[in-house]
């Protein structure tokens, strides 16, 4: 077997095995294998995560299962109280969004960009909608969502592009949520046209999105990487200007950047050493989470904002 293929199991085996030779040689070998392990696992995962949107969400889903033994929502945390875990803070964001649209009871709810389905399932289980549909462009996420939905007939998941919404009939939705997904859409105006098409007259939409503070371009290398990751952040003016070109009326706009930044408070406690037998796996996840948190917090302080837009489709 090549050292490039070393896995966690092999690593534990090598750790236990004593090779013939001096203590010094054994120590050198051990350091060598540790470095290969770090390269194969920590660095490879980190580079792959930043390689495409699909890789990114697969890594996040994998991390959730490794750390929490289950899938969590895929959005940023929202602060309410001290010492809350990530799961609670993500639910806080969902609850905050739901509180802006009124009751979901007996309503047809659509979540656009539903990720692994956890948020749609949470809405379905706790707010008694008549039906909940989740759509996402990522096939892996939709397969996870279908596995997690547990046979509920009034909960559907489909692969679909937010800019087309092929699976959703005209005038069929009472409440549409799009939470932390629209920054991925290159043609956001097409998405807003679809929101207008699928909503019933007087239907409600809520878009929670990560916005850019300015529309200044960055250095070409970063712009290329952003295209690869499908990052197309709009500014507030781009949003409000585009709403004016549709039959959608904005009724509420809210900047929740500071609650989201505070949501990362205590994130050092989200992963605990005692959850892992393997020290390197623990280190790898700590580093992965640290990089995610630091990047998000720095960007939210300097370049991005987190806004919620709530509105209705005109009923003429």
Ligand X SMILES: C[S@@+](CC[C@H](N)C(=O)[O-])C[C@H]1O[C@@H](n2cnc3c(N)ncnc32)[C@H](O)[C@@H]1O
Tell me which residues touch ligand X (CB under 6 A): 57, 73-75, 113-115, 119, 136-138, 141, 161-163, 179-181, 184-185
Decide: 94 and 308 in contact? Cβ < 8 Å. no
Q: Tell me how far, at minimum, the Cβ of 112 lies from ligand X, in Å.
A: 6
Cβ distance to ligand X smaller for residue 72 or 285: 72
Q: How far apart are CA 231 and CA 307, in angstroms?
A: 16
Residue 123 CA from chain centroid, whole number: 17
Cβ distance to ligand X smaller for residue 53 or 235: 53
Q: Tell me how far, at minimum, the Cβ of 136 lies from ligand X, in Å.
A: 4
Residues in the chain: 316
Cβ distance to ligand X smaller for residue 39 or 152: 152
Cβ distance to ligand X smaller for residue 231 or 280: 231
Q: Tell me how far, at minimum, the Cβ of 131 lies from ligand X, in Å.
A: 18
Instruction: Name the helix (H) or strand (E) containing 5.
Output: none
Cβ distance to ligand X smaller for residue 166 or 272: 166
- By beta carbon distance, the residue nearest ligand X is 115
Decide: 246 and 192 in contact? Cβ < 8 Å. yes
Q: Tell me how far, at minimum, the Cβ of 222 lies from ligand X, in Å.
A: 20
Provide the pairing of β-strand 173-179 with 155-159.
Answer: unpaired
Q: How far apart are CA 44 and CA 82, in angstroms?
A: 34
Cβ distance to ligand X smaller for residue 136 or 174: 136
Spell 198-211 as b/e; 16+ CB within 10 A means b: bbbeebbbbbbbbb
In the chain, which residue ranges form alpha helices assigned H by DSSP? 8-16, 23-38, 44-49, 53-68, 86-99, 118-127, 139-148, 188-198, 220-228, 236-244, 257-263, 279-302
Q: How far apart are CA 287 and CA 152, in angstroms?
A: 38
Cβ distance to ligand X smaller for residue 29 or 100: 100
Provide the pairing of β-strand 131-136 with 155-159.
Answer: parallel
Q: How far apart are CA 244 and CA 13, in angstroms?
A: 63
Q: Tell me how far, at minimum, the Cβ of 154 lies from ligand X, in Å.
A: 19
Decide: 8 and 33 in contact? Cβ < 8 Å. no
Q: Tell me how far, at minimum, the Cβ of 57 lies from ligand X, in Å.
A: 5
Q: How far apart are CA 188 and CA 245, in angstroms?
A: 12
Q: Tell me how far, at minimum, the Cβ of 23 lies from ligand X, in Å.
A: 50
Q: Tell me how far, at minimum, the Cβ of 277 lies from ligand X, in Å.
A: 29
Placement of tokens 């980190």 in the chain? 46
Q: How far apart are CA 229 and CA 246, in angstroms?
A: 28
Cβ distance to ligand X smaller for residue 174 or 209: 209
């Amino acid at each position: 077997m090549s050292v490039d293929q070393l896995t966690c199991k092999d690593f534990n085996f090598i750790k236990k095995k004593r090779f013939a030779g001096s203590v010094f040689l054994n120590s050198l070998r051990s350091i060598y294998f540790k470095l290969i392990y770090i390269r194969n696992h920590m660095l490879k995962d980190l580079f792959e995560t930043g390689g495409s949107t699909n890789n990114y969400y697969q890594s996040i889903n994998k991390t959730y299962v490794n750390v929490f033994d289950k899938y969590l929502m895929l959005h940023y945390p929202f602060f309410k109280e001290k010492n809350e875990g990530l799961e609670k803070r993500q639910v806080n964001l969902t609850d905050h969004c739901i509180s802006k649209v009124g009751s979901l009871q007996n309503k047809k709810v659509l979540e656009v960009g539903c990720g692994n389905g956890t948020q749609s399932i949470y809405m379905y289980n706790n707010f008694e909608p008549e039906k909940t549909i989740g759509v996402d462009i990522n096939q892996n996420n939709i397969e996870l969502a279908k596995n997690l939905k547990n046979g509920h007939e009034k909960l559907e998941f489909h692969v679909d592009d937010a800019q087309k919404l092929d699976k959703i009939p005209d005038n069929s939705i009472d409440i549409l949520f799009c939470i932390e997904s629209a920054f991925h859409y290159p043609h956001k105006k097409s998405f807003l046209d679809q929101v207008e098409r699928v909503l019933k007259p007087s239907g409600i939409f809520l878009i929670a999105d990560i916005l850019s503070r300015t529309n200044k371009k960055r250095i070409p290398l970063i712009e290329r990487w952003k295209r690869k990751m499908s990052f197309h952040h709009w500014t507030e003016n781009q949003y409000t200007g585009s709403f004016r070109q549709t039959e959608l009326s904005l009724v509420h706009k809210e900047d929740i950047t500071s609650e989201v930044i505070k949501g990362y408070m205590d994130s050092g406690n989200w992963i605990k050493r005692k959850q892992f037998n393997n020290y390197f796996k623990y280190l790898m996840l700590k580093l992965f989470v640290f990089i995610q948190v630091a990047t998000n917090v720095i960007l939210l302080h300097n370049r991005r904002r987190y806004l919620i837009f709530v509105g209705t489709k005109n009923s003429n």
